[in-house]
Amino acid sequence: MASDKQVSLAMPSSSPPIISIGVPVYNGSRFLRGALESFLGQSFSDIELIISDNASTDDTEDICRELAMRDARIRYVRQAVNIGAMRNWNFVAKQARGQYFKWSSANDYCAPDMLARCLAAMEPDPRIVLCFPRTCLVDQENGSLTDYEEDIELMEDSPYERFGKIRRTLKLNNAMLGLIRTDSLIRTRLNRVYPGGDMVLMAELALLGRFLLLPEILLYRRIGQETSSNRLSPEEERVWLDPLRTSASRSPLLSLHLGYIGTALRAPINLSEKLKTLRSALRSAAWDREKIYSELRRAQK
């Protein structure tokens, strides 16, 4: 049932849940039901499931409405137009009412005790702002491809050290699909609407606290032709992120570095840590100056 305005199904209950789960989706009907049911079947059940349908043209709406009618924990919102991938991810985060928040794509799923395990690890230690398990990469038919071995843990005391480590070593951003303290997340600027904007968010969270990696494989991410934005050209990726072209940048790399620099400047950390973090961000931008100049020159042609 398409609409020319944003529509919402189900009002939030009067008492907020412990965990909010945000699922941004666009034409994700093939794997959506399995993703949603993996959350509805969690051993920890005090959740709300916020789905933002980015004006899908497939069966996404029908699936969401069917499940929302069966389970009152689902809040389904359909956007009037495609607002872009990152704005849709940010939208579900802004709707969260729980003490903890988790993002999920419509392609991935998790083990039944993922939320319970992450919550149990975080509750005793307020220094941990994000907890996530090890990840298994699966194919389009749920066949295991590989256990991902490059997830990183950030348990250092120093915000500067955590900032540097995540920038040097973060590759596949599985951490973003972990459990996050909502009060920490709302202190950030969420996902930026340019390539790599999710990495800036992770660096911003790293300045606020520690990332704990659980040893068990509890998260399953789908990798393939239908699910990977890495297969897009730079121009296709910009359209995917921002189809409305409201924040077009002539140099995505410059935007990325400015994001890191701004994050360092705004971080609520002591002056010594802030200066070291800012120096690191400025040095990285200087190293990439020729690439930035090249992007700017191409944009002028």
Do residues 121 and 100 lie in contact, with contact meaning Cβ atoms separated by under 8 Å? Answer: no
pLDDT digits (tens, 9 = 90+) for 196-243: 999 999 999 999 999 999 999 999 999 875 554 555 566 556 666 677
Alpha helix (H) ranges present in the chain? 29-40, 60-70, 85-94, 114-122, 159-169, 182-185, 197-208, 234-241, 252-266, 271-287, 289-300
pLDDT tops 70 at residue 11: no
Q: Which of 209, 193, 190 is closest to 201 using CA atoms? A: 190
Question: What letter does residue 92 receive in the DSSP assignment?
Answer: H
Q: Which CATH superfamily is domain 7-231 in?
A: Spore Coat Polysaccharide Biosynthesis Protein SpsA; Chain A (3.90.550.10)
Q: What angle do CA 223, 229, 233 make, to 5 degrees?
A: 135
Q: Which of 193, 208, 209 is closest to 256 using CA atoms? A: 193
For the entire predicted model, the pTM comes to 0.91
Q: How many whole angstroms separate alpha carbon 162 and alpha carbon 157?
A: 8
Amino acid 232: pLDDT: 59
User: Domain segments of the chain: what residues?
Assistant: 7-231, 249-300
pLDDT digits (tens, 9 = 90+) for 89-136: 999 999 999 999 999 999 999 999 999 999 999 999 999 999 999 999
pLDDT digits (tens, 9 = 90+) for 18-68: 999 999 999 999 999 999 999 999 999 999 999 999 999 999 999 999 999
- Alpha-carbon dihedral sign for residues 239, 242, 246, 248: negative
Do residues 130 and 205 lie in contact, with contact meaning Cβ atoms separated by under 8 Å? Answer: yes
What's the token pair of residue 9? 């199904």
Q: Tell the residue number behind the tokens 């069917």, with chain if given.
A: 66
Q: How many whole angstroms separate alpha carbon 269 and alpha carbon 160?
A: 9
What's the token pair of residue 273? 């840590």
Q: What angle do CA 15, 18, 23 make, to 5 degrees?
A: 100
